[in-house]
Structure 1
Amino acid sequence: MDFAFTEEQQMIRDTAAAFLKASSSSAAVRAAMVSDKGFDPALWQSICADMYWQALHIPEQYGGMGLGYVELVAVLEQMGRYLLCAPYMSSVAMATNALLVAGTDAQKALYLPQIIEGKIASLAFNSASRDWDACAVSVTYRRDGNDFILNGNYRYVLDGDNADVMVFAARDEGSVGENGISLFVCPTDLNGIERAALPTMDQTRRQATITVTNLRLDESTVMGDVGKADKHLNKILDLATIALAAEQAGGMQEVLDMSVEYSKSRSQFGRTIAGFQAIKHKAADMMLRGEVARSAVYYAACIADEALNDGPLANELSEAASIAKSHCSEAYFKNAGEALQIHGGVGFTWEYDVHLYFKRAKASEHFLGGSGYHRERVAKMLLD
C-alpha cells in the first residue's frame, strides 16, 4: 500500500488543520465544553454547511462527497489535535457508518441527507459492559405483531442527550453472546426514550445514558436481518475504533508540539530546558510513538476502505482496528503524561491545556476498548 497522501488528501488535511486552528482554539474549547450542549452549535453548522466534513465518505447518491476512509481519518486526526468539541465522532464515525454498513436503501435515503444537513446522530449499544463488541448488548427486544418493544439502559452514548437520530442495538429476549442481535434506527422524539448527560472526566466529549422503556418500533426501523446483526455491529465498531485511534494520533502530535514549544521558553540553571539530554530523550520517544501511531492508523484506514467496499482485504478490518487502537491508547496516555512532566508543576494547572489532553487521552483509552482489551482480541484472532 502507498501511504503517501495524494495532492487532494494533503489539501483536505491542511484545510482541516487551518480551520480547526482558528475555530477550535483553547478559548473556544474551554467555552464549548462547559456549555449546556457541550459544543458550539454555530461552529457545528459551519462544519456542516461550509466544510461539509460530515459528508466526506457518504456516497454521492445521498448528497455526500463519496471520498474514502483515509480522507475521513485525515480530518479526524486534526480534530483530535485541536480537541474539537462537536458531535462529529458520534454522527459520522458511528451513526453514519451504521447506516452505510447495515441500513436499508430507504433508511440511507432518509437519514444520510439529514446528517449532511447537520442533524446529530449516534449509536447506543453498551450497557456498562467491559466488552466493546456485540456481546456488550444487554438491552432486549420482543416481538409484538410486526412491531418490536425495546427495554433497558444504555451508557457511554456519545452525544446521546443531543442526538436527533439514534441507532439502537438490542438483543432478543433470552439470547446470549453475539446471538439474537438486531439494529434499529429511529428519531429520538418517540415515546419511551429518556436521556440524560453523563458526568465524565473528559469534558471535551459529551456522553449520555439512555433508558428505553417499552419503546415501540415498527419493521421500517430494522437494519439488516432481525437477530443476525452481530457481524454488522462488530464491523461498525471496528470502523469507529479506527476513527478514535486517528483522533488519538492527532492528540499525540499536539502534546509533543506543546512540550517542545514550552521547553524552548522555560529556563533552568541558566539555559532553556530544551537543551537538557533528559528532555531531548522524552521528546524523541514521544515523536517515535506518534509516528508509529500514524502508520498504524493510516494502514487501518486503508483496510476500512476495503471493508466498506467489500475489497479483498476486508477480512483484516478487526485486526487492523485493534492494532491501531491498542498502540494509540497506550501511546497517547504515555505522551500526555510525559507532556505533564516536561511542563513541570504548571502542567497540572487549569491555565495550561495539557490537562485537557491528559483527560482526553485517559477517556479515549478506555472508550471502545483499552490496549489490553485489543491485544487480547488480536491474540484470539491469531489462535483462530
Structure 2
Amino acid sequence: MFSNVFRGKAKVCIGAVLGLCLAVASCAPSSEGGAGSCARPDLVFGGDVLLHQIIQSEAAARPTGFAPAFEGISAALSRADLAIVNLEGPAARDVLPGGRQGRSPATIFDNRVYSGYPQFNFHPSIATVLASAGVDVVQTANNHALDRGALGVDRTLEALRAAGLSTTGTRARGEATNWAALRQVNGQTIAFLSCTFSTNGLRDGRDQVLGCYGNAPSIPNLIQSLNSQPGVDGVILLPHWGTEYSRSPNPRQRRLAQAAADAGAIAVVGAHPHVLQPLTIVTSQDGRQVPVAYSLGNLISSQWALERRTGALLYLDIGRDEAGRTRALNPRYLPTRVERFVERGVAVFPAATLPNGPRSIAHARAVLGDAMVGPDGCLAR
C-alpha cells in the first residue's frame, strides 16, 4: 500500500506533468549545477534506528523478524540513490554483556545475548532488513557502540558488511582505516564520516570508535585529510552529538558544525538527541552554503511522546557550483512517525500516510520550518 502511494506520487515529478509539479509544489531546479528538486534525490538520511525491547520481542515472535517495522518507510528510502541511517547499538552475533562470547540463543531476542536498554545488542538479522529496506550506509559511531565491547564492534561490522552495507565511525580490532565510507553519488565520490561524543563511559581500549571531540587528528583535520585524497570530491560529517530530548543544538554542536564546514564538509547531518533539531544552512569561511541538520530524531524507537515518535528523512542532491566545487544542494525533508499496530507491531511510516500523521507533520514544521518541506513538493504531504 505505502510503496504504491509513494512511487505513484513520485511519477508526478517527471515527464509531461513536471510543470504542474513546479507550480503546485514550488519545486525549482537548482541554479548551482545540481539536479532539480523534482528529480530523483541523490541522498536520503534517516535518524536513529533504536530497537528497544518491545521492537526486538515483536520481531522474535514472527517469522519475518524486523522486516515489518521498516516496510512502510522502504519506498521513501529507496527513492534516493543512496540512503544513510544511524544504527544505535551493536548487532553482534552471540556476544554477551561485557563483550564475552556466548551461546547462540534459539530466538532473536532473549534479553541476554540480544537485549534492549541500557546496553543494547540487536540480532544481526537487522543488517539484511536494513539493506532490504533501501539502506546503503550505516553510521556505527554512537554512545552505544561499545555496549558489547571490542568483540561486539567486530561482529557488528561483520554483519553489516556481509549484508552489503558500508559502515563509518567504527573499525574492527587491528583494522587500518580512515574511518570513512566512500561511495559514488551522481558521478562523484563522497566520503561519509561518522563520530560520537561518548561511549557511555565504556573504555575504547582498541581505538575502535571515532570520537567527535578531543581526537588527534581532530574531526576538522580528518575532513581536510579526506578532501585531500585523490578521487574524493566531498565529505559529509555524521556526528552523534547533542543533548538528549532537547530541541535546540548546544554550543558544542554549533561549534563543530561550523568547524566542519570551514574544514571543507559539504553537509553535516547529526544524530543522538532522539528528537528533531533545526535544519539550517551555515556559511563556511570560503563562502560555501553548507546544510546542517542538527538532529533528524528517531527513525524508529518505542519512545511515544510526540517529539520522540516524530522524525524526518533529509534529502540532498550532489552537484557543483559555478567554481566547480562539490556541493550538497536542495535540502528538503519528509516527516515520519512511529506507530504500533496489532499485527504489524511497532513500525515507521511517512507521517502523511497515517491518521495521526498531521500531528507529527505540524511538529516537524515547528522545528524544521516550512521552507524545506519535501523530499520534493509532490511528496511533501
Q: Larger strand proportion, structure 1 or 2?
A: 2
Higher RCO (Cα < 8 Å, 6 or more apart) = 2
TM-score band, normalised by shorter chain: under 0.3
Q: Larger helix proportion, structure 1 or 2?
A: 1
Determine which structure has more spread, i.e. the larger CA radius of gyration: 1
TM-score normalised over the length of structure 1 = 0.26
TM-score normalised over the length of structure 2 = 0.26
